[in-house]
Amino acid sequence: MKPIRPLNYMERINKALAEFLKPKKPGEMGLFLNPEIRHDDWCKVMKGKPECNCSPDIYIELDDGRFQITKAGTLKKVGI
């Protein structure tokens, strides 16, 4: 069996947003604000390179509060 490749950070954001933006009620949508991506110090992005080679911590502000996007691409509510 082929090992499952971990999601890169853009895939994590897209997966979490797709889940969040599913209407909770007809016509209702979530709001996505202020993404914060914290790359590891050793990541190539931190050295000015265009590609990420770490698994950064990702936080977003939604109308329901502040959330972390987990490595599995799900939202986890966090404090401020």
Q: 32 or 78: whose pLDDT is higher?
A: 78
Instruction: State both tokens at 39.
Output: 């790359």
Over range 38-54, report the average pLDDT.
Answer: 90
1 pLDDT more than 70: no
8 Å CB contact between 48 and 41: no
8 Å CB contact between 77 and 67: yes
Q: Tell me the residue length of the chain.
A: 80
Give the chain's mean pLDDT. Answer: 79
Ordered by start, the domain boundaries in the chain are 9-77
- Return d(Cα 52, Cα 13) in angstroms, integer: 14
Residue with tokens 């016509």: 27
